[in-house]
């Protein structure tokens, strides 16, 4: 129900504040006016205000905060008259619900702005990260395939080497006609030559090693050292001889001045079976 009533400035201010769902503490934060002065305005006790200038300034701020027309408030203050107020009668329950609604709106509004601000920041960061990734040089996908191929090649090489060892494929040098089979502590050496005999030389540089050659004048063995670096003997065709090396590393073997590769003798002591054959 709507009715026209006359009320004082203070009554109009107080009713407007209540209808807005504002407490005096909330109004103080909105207007920067002390609570005691706000109470004086609502009580029409303008003598408690410092001066007429401050009274008008406080009334203007109060009117703004509760959405009143400041001109009506100031005209009533200047003329000392009451204000004709259009009042809607509402019960206390409705008024209380309105206050809660207004407070809820004021409470949710900062949360809304916070969420909006957070979403904007997240969007900006996501765009920045996406732009950064797009500007980075891409890694060619062929790199992975190269790695696989390299690994496969290496594995194939190892398997190939393993197959050679397992099948004891001969290592042959066309220039010196020497064929070597085996590995570990024993190898078989075949020397193809048109001659009936060949000269075998065993030498060391800084190593000391006991050596022997079966079916030759070195069958009893001899110690090679830096003071006795060289030993020679003659072997015949179709009569295999066994060469014993007490220390393999550092001993050099030559047949008719052609060096025999002993790299496949991987143990400390080794044996070499040497055979002369026809071309």
Asked whether 100 and 21 are in contact (CB, 8 A), the reply is yes
DSSP 124-158: HHHHHHHHHHHHSPPPPTHHHHHHHHHHHHHHHHH
C-alpha span between 94 and 70 (Å, rounded):
27
pTM higher than 0.85 for the full model? no
Band of pLDDT at residue 165, cut at 50, 70 and 90: very low
Asked whether 212 and 244 are in contact (CB, 8 A), the reply is yes
At 3 the three-state DSSP class reads strand
Distances (CA, A) of 197 to 146, 244, 274, 278: 54, 20, 12, 11
CATH 1.10.260.40 in the chain is located at: 2-89
pLDDT (tens digit per residue) in 179-222: 899 999 899 888 888 888 889 999 998 889 889 999 899 988 99
The two beta strands, 270-277 and 186-192, are parallel
Q: Regarding the domain with residue range 2-89, which homologous superfamily does it belong to in the CATH classification?
A: lambda repressor-like DNA-binding domains (1.10.260.40)
At 67 the three-state DSSP class reads coil
């Amino acid at each position: 129900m709507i009715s026209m009533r006359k009320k004082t400035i203070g009554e109009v201010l107080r009713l407007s504040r209540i209808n807005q769902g504002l407490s005096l503490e909330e109004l103080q934060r909105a207007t920067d006016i002390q609570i005691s002065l706000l109470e004086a305005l609502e009580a029409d006790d303008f003598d408690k205000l410092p001066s007429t200038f401050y009274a008008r300034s406080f009334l203007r701020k109060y009117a703004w905060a509760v959405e009143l027309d400041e001109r009506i408030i100031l005209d009533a203050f200047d003329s000392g008259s009451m204000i004709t107020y259009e009042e809607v009668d509402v019960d206390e329950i409705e008024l209380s619900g309105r206050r809660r609604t207004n407070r809820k709106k004021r409470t949710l509004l900062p949360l809304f702005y916070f969420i909006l601000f957070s979403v904007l920041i997240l969007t900006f960061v996501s765009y920045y990260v996406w732009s950064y990734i797009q500007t980075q040089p891409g890694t060619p996908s062929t790199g992975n395939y190269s790695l696989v191929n390299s690994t496969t090649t290496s594995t194939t090489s190892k398997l190939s080497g393993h197959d050679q060892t397992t099948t004891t494929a001969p290592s042959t040098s066309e220039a010196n006609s020497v064929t070597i089979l085996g590995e570990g502590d024993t190898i078989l050496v075949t020397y193809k030559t048109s001659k009936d005999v060949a000269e075998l030389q065993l030498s060391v540089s800084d190593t000391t090693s006991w050596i022997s050659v079966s079916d030759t004048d070195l069958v009893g063995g001899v110690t090679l050292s830096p003071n006795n670096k060289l030993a020679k003997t003659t072997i015949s065709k179709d009569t295999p001889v066994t060469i014993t090396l007490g220390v393999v590393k550092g001993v050099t073997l030559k047949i008719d001045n052609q060096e025999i590769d002993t790299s496949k003798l991987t143990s400390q002591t080794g044996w070499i079976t040497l055979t002369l054959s026809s071309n």
